[in-house]
A = this chain, B = another copy of it.
Amino acid sequence: MNGAVQTRRGRLQEQTRDEIKAVARRQMAREGASALSLRAIAGEMGLTAPALYRYYPSRDELITALIVDAFHALGDVLEGARGTVVAEAHANQFVAMMHAYRAWALAHPAEFTLIYGTPIPGYHAPEVVTDPAVRRSLAPLLALLAAAWQAGKITPDPAYAAPPPPLGERFGAMLPGAAGGRVPTAALHVGFVAWAHLQGIIMLELFGHIAPVVGDPELFYAFEVRVQLLRLGLAPPG
C-alpha cells in the first residue's frame, strides 16, 4: 500500500511539478504573467510540451497552482517579517510586515501581478481552491490586528467610529471563528482600509504611476506606512 508516506515515483512527480512551477515563475518574471506558455516551459526544461500533461491536466490548472503558491509565499513572508520583531511591539510588527509586503511585490512582480493585477484573459480562478490561499496570505495581518486589539493598543481613527451598518456587518465576518478577542467593526474597517491603501500604492508603483510623481517611492511608501499607524491608533515605533 502506497499510503501517507510517499512512494519513490510520487516524490519524483512532486519534484518535477515543483520544477515546472519554478521555471514558469522565472518565465513570468521575464515576459509577464499572461505570456505563460506550456511549450516555452517545456522547452526550458528540455522536455516536449505534451510531457507536462503528466503533471498538470491543463494550462489553467498550472496557473491556479501558481496563484495558490503566490498567496502562500506572501503569507510566509508576512509571517516571517512579524517574527523578526518582539511580539509586544505591535506597531513595529506592522511596519516590518508592510515593508516586507512591498519588498516581496517588487522582488516578484509577476507573481504579485498574478494575484493582484489584471486577470489573465480567458482564465478564471476556481474560488474553492483560491479562497483558502487568499485567507492564508492575509492571516498574519489579521492576527496582528487581533493581538494588538486584545492588548488594548488600537484606537481607530475617529473617522471610522461609525461606519454605515451594512459595512459593519460584513467586516464582522473577516476574522475566522475564534480568531480574536472580538475585534470591533471600526478596528476591522480601519485595518482593511490600511491594507487597501498600501496595497493600492504598491500596485500603482509597480505599474509606474508613483515614481514619476514622488521621485523616491520607498520614502513615499515608508511615510504612508507610518500614517497608517496613526489611523490604527497604534503608537509609532521609537
**Partner-B contacts on A (CB < 8 A):** 31-35, 113, 116-119, 121-122, 159-160, 163-164, 166-167, 169-171, 174, 192-193, 196-197, 199-201, 203-204, 207-210, 213-216, 219-220, 223-224, 227, 230
Contact = CB atoms under 8 A, between A and B. Distances in A.
Contacts of A113: 118
7 contacts: A34-B118, A117-B118, A119-B208, A167-B214, A192-B213, A197-B197, A199-B200
Contacts of A34: 34, 118, 121
A84 B219 CA distance: 38
Contacts of A203: 200, 203-204
Nearest to A158: B230
Contacts of A199: 200, 204
A102 B193 CA distance: 17
Contacts of A220: 167
The interface residues of chain A, by DSSP majority, are classed as helix
How many monomers of this chain does the complex have? 2
A10 B216 CA distance: 46
Given A32-B118, A117-B207, A167-B219, 4 more contacts: A116-B204, A164-B219, A166-B216, A200-B200
A102 to B, nearest CB: 13
Contacts of A223: 163-164, 167
A173 to B, nearest CB: 9
Contacts of A169: 215
A207 B35 CA distance: 19
Contacts of A207: 116-119
Nearest to A28: B121
Contacts of A200: 196-197, 199-201, 203-204
B215 A159 contact: no
Contact of A170 (B163, B171, B214): B214
A27 to B, nearest CB: 11
